Amino acid sequence: MRKVVKKLVNRKRSPFFTLRPLFAKSIMRRFVADKAKTLINRSRTTCSSSFPPPIITSTSVLQRLTSSSSSSSQSTAVLRFLSTSSDSMASDYSSTPVTLNNVNPKVLKCEYAVRGEIVNLAQKLQQDLKENPGSHPFDEILYCNIGNPQSLAQQPITFFREVLALCDHPLILDKSETQGLFSADSIERAFQILDQIPGRATGAYSHSQGIKGLRDTIASGIEARDGFPADPNDIFLTDGASPAVHMMMQLLIGSENDGILCPIPQYPLYSASIALHGGTLVPYYLDEETGWGLEVSELENQLKTAKSKGINVRALAVINPGNPTGQVLAEANQREIVEFCKKEGLVLLADEVYQENVYVPEKQFHSFKKVARSMGFGEKDISLVSFQSVSKGFYGECGKRGGYMEVTGFSPEIREQIYKVASVNLCSNISGQILASLVMSPPKVGDESYESFAAEKEGILSSLARRAKTLEDAFSNLEGVTCNKAEGAMYLFPRINLPDKAIKAAEEAKIAPDAFYARHLLNATGIVVVPGSGFGQRPGTWHFRCTILPQEEKIPAIVSRLTEFHKLFMDEFRG
Amino acid sequence: MRKVVKKLVNRKRSPFFTLRPLFAKSIMRRFVADKAKTLINRSRTTCSSSFPPPIITSTSVLQRLTSSSSSSSQSTAVLRFLSTSSDSMASDYSSTPVTLNNVNPKVLKCEYAVRGEIVNLAQKLQQDLKENPGSHPFDEILYCNIGNPQSLAQQPITFFREVLALCDHPLILDKSETQGLFSADSIERAFQILDQIPGRATGAYSHSQGIKGLRDTIASGIEARDGFPADPNDIFLTDGASPAVHMMMQLLIGSENDGILCPIPQYPLYSASIALHGGTLVPYYLDEETGWGLEVSELENQLKTAKSKGINVRALAVINPGNPTGQVLAEANQREIVEFCKKEGLVLLADEVYQENVYVPEKQFHSFKKVARSMGFGEKDISLVSFQSVSKGFYGECGKRGGYMEVTGFSPEIREQIYKVASVNLCSNISGQILASLVMSPPKVGDESYESFAAEKEGILSSLARRAKTLEDAFSNLEGVTCNKAEGAMYLFPRINLPDKAIKAAEEAKIAPDAFYARHLLNATGIVVVPGSGFGQRPGTWHFRCTILPQEEKIPAIVSRLTEFHKLFMDEFRG
């Protein structure tokens, strides 16, 4: 690492990243200190290069999906590193009642790498840059760890924000100045929405499933998308897709004998939620060789193995378009998956939050409900939950925490249970509910906002497609790196063939080799990616997830910087 | 029941409620049909008048807190009643995989009466009124079941909504028309808040604990309130207080051997959350005779009993001001509670969401943190979590789902676990975060909005105080009813001494006697209250919870209607 940064420091600077040699030493010292602390502080788990057996119980989900090392010991070490605390400080809490020995073990076992150790380190570096500009060989932290478009300067869709503002402060709807500030159709839409809310009360708890009128709009949007009926009573509005996934896991998981088939690699919400609810993650591996293909034979094998171990597999989770893998499923493949769930009596949990993020002309998004209905499976034939979110799409409104799940194929008795669990949290936030209705019913041709809306949408989507292609090419050109095509979603998940020397150095540092790479990358360039071990990967393979979201004008600098870093890293560890 | 409605129909009509005799029979028929279905459909649990032993495991929390009958069989029956389904329809779902036999049993055991059977019935009646105006002996449903002020026409605080609208659509901040529509200080505040958000991105996921600048503001507000330091790193912003309570329960409950001391009566979020996490609710009874007093001797007894049964009691939940009981704890009492938690090594979970709802001059809210610090207990001496919400107070912004918890007295290792669980859901909604900062830093003397803000606040709080007193007096004047004083919060929790004949009729209908009363009240008047059995109560006592939130001009009609109904009910069942 020391060598990598020194070499970077001495090279020609890219326009975007500025290296400051004087400060390079300080991060070196800090990084070495960090490594030392990691080594010293904890050795609760030992480094192991063996990969988990196919079935992973909640007692070890991410620890075992992580190909080596313990991420929990890592993150603890980082926390200590980040805080001003020392071991002696921790002992000051000896008279407080909650300790690692008596905290809920399911919480301890849960891992969530998207905001894990690397991100903590990034926040620390960001703070450093703020307090001591020039303290690191880069000017800013580039968060490519998380699909958070607006954090990387993507602007919100104007029409959506106009309507939200008017619903937040309806008193201005009738004022003349409002006409000058807002589009006519946003004003009209705000009136329509307010009329759908009992008493126009945007500050009241709604029905536990969300405001009925907004669910009507969403159901119409689903019908228009699929060409099959949708029932507003099937819609549960939620604070983003994550709480919806938790709700379904809560329903399905009663003990560690209940298993959920999850893709590997997977978005770690699934492993985290299964761990928190005490279930068993039954992995099925996506096939990297065929562009992260989903093979039904693999599902069958894993299901059979799970059953032979006494696991009662309840559901199949499918992420389409894929996260972190970016593939868009072919319709024929989806039909096989539906058949499989029907035959095996599994609930199909369809994570369809990237349904509007498809970047290649040869692929198209089809909802699993449309596919199932087109196969002739009706409401009572298959249990299917589709998750949607306002955080993704071209709008990327992550901070609004809006989303919904469409729940079909459950008996009234079970629906009652889902309703009850939704009720305990009262309702999701009304702005998020409104936004969920807007993304499913955007301006139409002829509306005042239509042209600017269409231009904003097209601008974002075409830029994302270009960024995806440029980054994909850049990763593919790196020594020892192969990169999937980003057909959809917001991520690339390149595979790195790390040299033995790097793997050995990582083992010595008690971190996963891909985390070792990601940490080096961050310290040298400010770019934050998530190690593949946070998502699960085939034994002995190493990846990282990088979003395609940095601003387009920054992409060339990122590519050159990344290329430069990678070359130096390989030079140092090629052995 | 038939008699009660008939008599009401024949009486002089109050200005607010309009009775329509022609339609009275139809609700009678429906009610009788409902009763019959309840009797026929299910007999999974039998009616029992025995009260639970002091310790209630999650396998039976609300079923056993309900003094008799089974609310799950009730609610299933009501669901069937409300839907168009019949038993034959349910069997159509025979090929779907999720059934009451294989759903997570913890979900089945969870109960949440605030949105339970009575509310389902109310929604059905509301739909009836919409489709067939005049189909019931009242014109509107009055939801007094839930603390949801804006659903009952309370207007939002203008300044708060101005700032939210501007943060939703910052493009208008620089426009000249905006000056005419928004107060100067709301514009200034919006700028300040946007400057606190990285990249001014109100559409981005924030830090998992919430935006740092907003947490700084909240910490300052806490300091100003308490006179003791508050650390922004202790603040976790959440989508209302409920998810925060869940998060702490998740941390503390590993198995049914982990117990949480909860008040009885309690807001059923606590019993629901403990059930969902598989823990044990250890009840302590508030003393109705002393205005719902919290006696430390009761805590000690219940703790001892729990320990003797092998329960590891982890925390004490205290709701202050009380829900549903409305009492405000005296500071001396709070000191005893803090001492008890310290001595017994319990986490103190302080539900302080009604901190701004105190209506009597002789009482004042003191946060438990202030009390603990004033006793000399510092950060490392006591583990204390304070829950706050934007849904309550005088602002009552339930639909915004904003809130926070202030977490003090946990070691860095445990803090890391809380942070991780928060991270799995990414962050709470940004509008809710902004609003949480606003309620903790409202306009100050000299700000343009100050006077109108102060007038709005005072108008709401003084009206609430008047409504509380009027309703309290009205309840107290009813035959066989005694009513606590609403010192704070938003509820009255009157006790009804039901005649034996009513209790017997309820047993025959297989519902709790207080649910029997509440259902009669709803069918006759449109007023929705929550039976005391949904909160827990001493064996053989019956209550209901009624909010103080209906519009002030409607209160006289409500009182006369309620009085009239009660008299007829007693006449029918006095025996």
Task: Give the pLDDT confidence of B152-204 residue by residue, as tens digits.
Answer: 999 999 999 999 999 999 999 999 999 999 999 999 999 999 999 988 999 99
Q: Is residue B163 a contact partner of residue A211, using CB atoms and an 8 Å limit?
A: no
The pLDDT score that the predictor gives to residue B7 is 53
CA distance A176 to A338: 54
Count the neighbouring beta carbons within 10 Å of the beta carbon of residue A478. 18
Whether residue B390 contacts residue B402, with contact meaning beta carbons closer than 8 Å, is answered with yes
What DSSP string runs through B440-454? TS---TTSTTHHHHH
pLDDT the model gives residue A172: 96
For residues A16 and A558, the answer to whether their CB atoms sit within 8 Å is yes
Apex CA B61: angle with CA B58 and CA B62, to 5°?
Answer: 145
- CA-nearest residue to A240 within chain B is B425
C-beta of residue A227 within 8 angstroms of C-beta of residue A370: yes
Closest CA to A408 of A486, A332, A349: A349
pLDDT of residue A12: 39
How many C-beta atoms surround the C-beta of residue B345 within 10 A?
Answer: 14
- Give residue for tokens 């595979």: A495
Residues B476-493 have a mean pLDDT of 94
Residue B312, pLDDT > 50, answer yes
If one counts every other C-beta atom within 10 angstroms of the C-beta of residue A164, the result is: 30
CA distances from A66 to A142, A147, A506, B297, B299 (A): 24, 21, 13, 50, 45
**Highest mean pLDDT range out of A102-116, A475-489, B77-91?**
A475-489
Q: Quick one: pLDDT at residue B506?
A: 95
- Both tokens of A10, joined, read 């001495």
- CB–CB of A385/A248 below 8 Å? yes
What pLDDT is attached to residue B50? 30
Q: Which residues partner with B293 through β-bridges?
A: B287
| B75 close contact with A: CB closer than 8 A | yes
Q: Do B108 and A417 touch (CB under 8 A)?
A: yes
**Token pair belonging to A231:** 């029932």
CA distance readout (Å), A482 to A143, A290, A427, A492, B70: 22, 13, 44, 11, 60
CA angle B529, B531, B532 (to 5 degrees): 125
State the virtual CA torsion across B374, B375, B379, B381 in degrees, nearest 10: 180
Cα-to-chain-centroid distance, residue B151: 14
Q: Which token pair is A395?
A: 């709008």
Cα–Cα distance for residue pair A422/A403, rounded to 1 Å = 14
Q: Compare A36 and B189 and report the one with higher pLDDT.
A: B189
Query: Over 80: is that where the pLDDT of B488 sits?
Result: yes
Structure tokens at A113: 């790498």
User: Looking at beta carbons, which residues of chain A come within 8 Å of B114?
Assistant: 423
Rounded CA gap, A342 and A372, in Å? Answer: 10
Closest CA to B58 of B307, B251, B254: B254
- Among B215, B245, B214, residue whose Cα is nearest residue B231: B215
SS3 content of chain A, % helix, strand, coil (to 5): 50, 10, 35
Q: Which helix (H) or strand (E) holds B79?
A: helix B71-82
CA distance linking residue A40 with residue A73, whole number of Å:
11
Across the interface, do B427 and A399 touch by the CB < 8 Å criterion?
yes
How close does chain B come to A317, measured CA to CA in Å? 15
Of A380-394, B76-90, B240-254, B321-335, the one with minimum mean pLDDT is B76-90
Task: Check whether A17 has a pLDDT greater than 50.
Answer: no
Chain centre distance of CA B474: 22
Top-confidence residue, B90 or B312: B312
Torsion of CA A129, A131, A132, A133, to 10 degrees: 50
Confidence (pLDDT) at B212: 95
Assign A120 a pLDDT band (cuts: 50, 70, 90).
confident
pLDDT at B4: 53
Secondary-structure percent of chain B, ordered helix, strand, coil, rounded to 5: 50, 10, 35
Residue range B213-240: mean pLDDT, rounded: 98
Distance CA A356, CA A395 (A): 9
Give CA–CA dist A482/B491, Å, rounded: 63
| Sign of the C-alpha dihedral computed for residues A17, A20, A24 and A26 taken in this order | negative
Place B116 in a pLDDT band, splitting at 50, 70 and 90. Answer: confident
Whether the CB-CB separation of B548 and B486 falls below 8 Å is answered with yes
d(CA B315, CA B305): 15
CB distance from A398 to chain B under 8 Å? Answer: yes
Q: What's the mean pLDDT in B221-235?
A: 98
Angle at B553 (CA atoms; ends B549, B555), nearest 5 degrees: 55
Q: Do A426 and B240 touch (CB under 8 A)?
A: yes
> What digits encode the pLDDT tens for the residues A176-187?
999 999 999 999
Rounded CA gap, A144 and A490, in Å?
10
Can you give the pLDDT at residue A4? Answer: 53
B431 vs B237: CA distance, rounded Å: 11
Tokens, residue A189 = 């839409």
Give the whole-number percent of chain B exceeding pLDDT 90.
79
Average pLDDT for B536-555: 94
User: Lowest mean pLDDT: which of B63-67, B135-139, B143-147, B438-442?
Assistant: B63-67
Residue B413: pLDDT above 90?
yes
Q: Of B246 and B65, which is predicted with more confidence?
A: B246
- Does the pLDDT at position B244 exceed 80? yes
The strand pair at B481-482 and B495-496 is best described as: antiparallel
| CATH 3.40.640.10 location in chain B | 241-389
Interface of A with B in 192-221 (CB under 8 A): 198-199, 201-208
- Does B564 have pLDDT greater than 90? yes
> Is the predicted pLDDT of residue B502 greater than 80, yes or no?
yes
Over residues B287-307, mean pLDDT: 96
Please tell me the distance from the alpha carbon of residue A509 to that of residue B184, in angstroms, as a whole number: 56
**Token representation of residue A95:** 């008279």
Domain B241-389 indexed as CATH 3.40.640.10? yes
Higher confidence at residue A140 or residue B71?
A140
In angstroms, the separation between the Cα of residue B28 and the nearest Cα of chain A is 26
Angle between helices B184-196 and B158-168 (to 10 degrees): 50
* pLDDT of res. B108: 92
Is the confidence at residue B434, as pLDDT, over 80?
Answer: yes
Interatomic CA distance for residues B498 and B66, integer angstroms: 16
Give contacts of B273 with chain A, Cβ < 8 Å: 424
pLDDT tens digits, A37-89: 433 333 333 223 333 334 444 433 333 333 333 333 333 333 333 333 334 44
From-to residues of CATH 3.90.1150.10 in chain B: 2-145+462-573
CATH for the A2-145+457-573 domain, from 3.90.550.10, 3.90.1150.10, 1.10.10.10, 3.50.40.10 = 3.90.1150.10
Do the Cβ atoms of A399 and B432 come within 8 Å? no
Q: Do B97 and A345 touch (CB under 8 A)?
A: yes
Q: Does A85 touch chain B (CB under 8 A)?
A: yes
Judge whether B398 is closer than 8 Å to chain A, CB to CB. yes
Task: Delimit the CATH 3.40.640.10 region(s) of chain A.
Answer: 224-439
What integer pLDDT is reported at residue B487 of this predicted model? Answer: 94
Residue positions counted in chain A: 575
CATH code for residues A224-439: 3.40.640.10
Torsion angle of the four alpha carbons B135, B139, B140, B144, in this order, in degrees rounded to the nearest 10: -110
Do the strands B312-319 and B258-264 form a parallel or antiparallel pair, or are they unpaired?
Answer: parallel
* CB-CB neighbors (< 8 A) of B181 in chain A: 172, 175, 177-178, 181
Q: Tell me the mean pLDDT in the region B388-402.
A: 97
Residue B75 has pLDDT above 70, yes or no: no
**Count of C-beta atoms within a 10 Å radius of residue A151:** 21
- The residue among B38 and A496 whose pLDDT is bigger is A496
Measure A426 CA to nearest chain B CA, in Å.
8
Rounded to 5 degrees, φ, ψ at B287 are: -95, 105
B503 in contact with chain A, both atoms CB, cutoff 8 A: no
Tell me the helices (H) and strands (E) count for chain B, helix number first: 22, 15
Identify the weakest region by mean pLDDT among A84-93, B235-244, B520-529.
A84-93
* Contact criterion met (CB < 8 Å) for A413 and B99: yes
Residue B470 identity (one-letter amino acid):
T
| Out of A114, A149, A201, closest to residue B151 by CB | A201
Determine the Cα–Cα distance for residues A115 and A111; give it in Å rounded to an integer.
9
Torsion A513-A515-A518-A519 (CA) sign? negative
Q: Determine, for residues A424 and B273 on separate chains, whether the beta-carbon distance falls below 8 Å.
A: yes
**B86 falls in which pLDDT band (50, 70, 90)?**
very low
Residue A116 has pLDDT above 90, yes or no: no
Mutation for B interface: A202, A421, A426, A431, most B CBs within 10 A: A426
Query: For residue A398, what is the DSSP state?
Result: G
Distance from CA of B401 to the nearest CA of A (A): 5
The string of DSSP letters for B36-68 reads HHHHHH--SS----PPPPS-EEGGGHHHHHSSS
pLDDT band at A453 (very low <50, low <70, confident <90, very high): very high
Contact B151 A400 (CB under 8 A): no
Contact call for residues A139 and A557 (beta carbons, < 8 A): no
Summarised one tens digit per residue, pLDDT across range A317-375 is 999 999 999 999 999 999 999 999 999 999 999 999 999 999 999 999 999 999 999 99
Please give the Cα distance from B555 to B361 (Å, whole number). Answer: 23
Element (DSSP H or E) covering residue A20: none
Nearest to B65 by CA among B52, B49, B48: B52
> Which one-letter amino acid corresponds to residue A223?
E
Asked whether the predicted pLDDT for residue B31 surpasses 50, the reply is no
CA angle, corner B419, sides to B413 and B423, nearest 5? 145
pLDDT for the residue A402: 98
Q: Measured between CB atoms, which of A112, A156, A396 is closest to B424? A: A112
Q: Evaluate the CA torsion angle B186, B188, B194, B200 in order and state its sign.
A: positive
CA dist., res. B410 & res. A34, Å (int): 24
pLDDT of residue A91: 60
- Number of C-beta neighbours around residue B145 at 10 A: 26
Considering only CB atoms, A85 lies closest to which of B201, B412, B429, namely B412
At residue B574 the predicted structure's pLDDT band, cuts being 50, 70 and 90, is: confident
Average pLDDT of the residues of chain A:
86
Q: Which residues belong to CATH 3.90.1150.10 in chain A?
A: 2-145+457-573
- For A:4-63, CB contacts with B below 8 A are none
| Cβ neighbours of B146 in A, within 8 Å | 205
Judged by a CB distance cut-off of 8 A, whether residue A411 touches chain B is yes
Q: How far is CA B143 from CA B135, B476, B558, in A?
A: 18, 21, 12
Q: Look up tokens 């070490």; give the residue.
A: A77
Question: What are the pLDDT digits (tens) for A469-522?
Answer: 999 999 999 999 999 888 999 999 999 999 999 999 999 999 999 999 999 999
Does residue B110 contact residue B508 with C-beta atoms inside 8 Å? no
**Residue B509: alpha-carbon gap to chain centroid:** 27
Chain B touched by A289 (CB under 8 Å): no
Phi-psi region of B506 (alpha: psi -120 to 50; beta: other; left: phi over 0): alpha
Nearest Cα residue in chain B from A166:
B165
Tell which of B58, B84, B169, B418 to mutate to test the A interface (max A CBs under 10 Å).
Answer: B169
pLDDT, residue A111, reads: 85
Q: Which CATH number fits domain B2-145+462-573: 3.50.50.60, 3.40.50.720, 3.90.1150.10, 2.60.120.10?
A: 3.90.1150.10
Cβ pair B483, B495 in contact under 8 A = yes
